[in-house]
Amino acid sequence: MNSEYLEFSRIEVYFFLLIAILIFALFRLVIRSIGVIPLKKGVKTYILRFLPVIEIFFWFIYFIWAIQFFWNNNQLYAIELSLILTVLSLWIAWFALRDFIAGAIFKASKYFLINESIRVNNYTGKIISMKTRYLIIETDTGETIHIPYSRVLGQTIIKVHPAEMILSYSFKLNVPKTDKSPEVIEEIKNTILNLPWASLKKDPQIRYIYSDKPEISTFEITVYAFEKEYFPEIEKYIRSMY
């Protein structure tokens, strides 16, 4: 009887292992299919955002079903599955709550305020919002970056003085075709550096862009300044000169 009981238990274990493999394979297949199926970017992002939640829900249903089944047939397996489910639940709870906890600690310090400029995790920008789970900063190019609080705590956070924040701005400039592009680039660069609005801490970046018009040379120019209001003046002056 013991032999039959053990054999029956093994069959049950193999069955539930097979179900687990199928669930895992199914969701991996769905994730890969989403990358191939032509969907709108917003729809694809929405699905990928909520798919992990759906997968977690399926795994919880699977474990509860397995525990209930084994409790009636093999309590040892049921206890083992219960322990696994408990560990997974604690891990998921920590993963979900760690940003809330880190955010509460970060905001409780009151050392960093809205509109202050900071440098953290290789990002530099102005704090524009402190959400419950993440910090939002705006970079000098106008991009917004969402940084989870769990990635902020434990890192060196540097307060940046507004005068140290160099902003950047890019625009394209068309000039008559010439074989002396390096000389033109150097001339434009020197012109920008001599303007009162341009920053001297960082040289302007100028690169040649291919143009299908044989009589025109196109350059992408990136200029740096301490205030956004200076960029229109710089662009206006450069266009008037070239």
Per domain, the residue ranges of the chain are 2-73, 117-162, 166-241
Taking a C-beta distance cutoff of 8 angstroms, is the pair 67, 78 a contact?
A: yes
- 141: confidence class by pLDDT, cuts 50, 70, 90: low
How confident is the model over 190-234, as pLDDT tens digits? 999 999 988 887 888 888 887 777 788 888 999 988 778 889 999
pLDDT at residue 21, as a whole number: 87
> Do the two domains 117-162 and 166-241 of this chain adopt the same fold?
no
DSSP E strand boundaries for the chain: 117-120, 123-130, 134-138, 144-148, 158-160, 167-176, 205-209, 216-225
Taking the CB of residue 174, how many other CB atoms lie within 10 A of it?
15
Quick one: fold of 166-241?
A: Alpha-Beta Plaits (3.30.70)
What are the counts of helices (DSSP H) followed by strands (DSSP E) for the chain?
Answer: 6, 8
SS3 state at 172: strand
Q: Residue 2 pLDDT more than 60?
A: no
DSSP E strand boundaries for 70-202: 117-120, 123-130, 134-138, 144-148, 158-160, 167-176
- 1: confidence class by pLDDT, cuts 50, 70, 90: very low
Give CA separation, 52 vs 13, 15, 40, in Å. Answer: 26, 24, 19
Name which CATH class applies to 117-162.
Answer: mainly beta
pLDDT at residue 126, as a whole number: 84
More confident of the two residues 241 and 37? 241
How confident is the model over 55-84, as pLDDT tens digits? 888 888 888 887 777 777 666 666 776 787
Q: Residue 12 pLDDT more than 80?
A: no
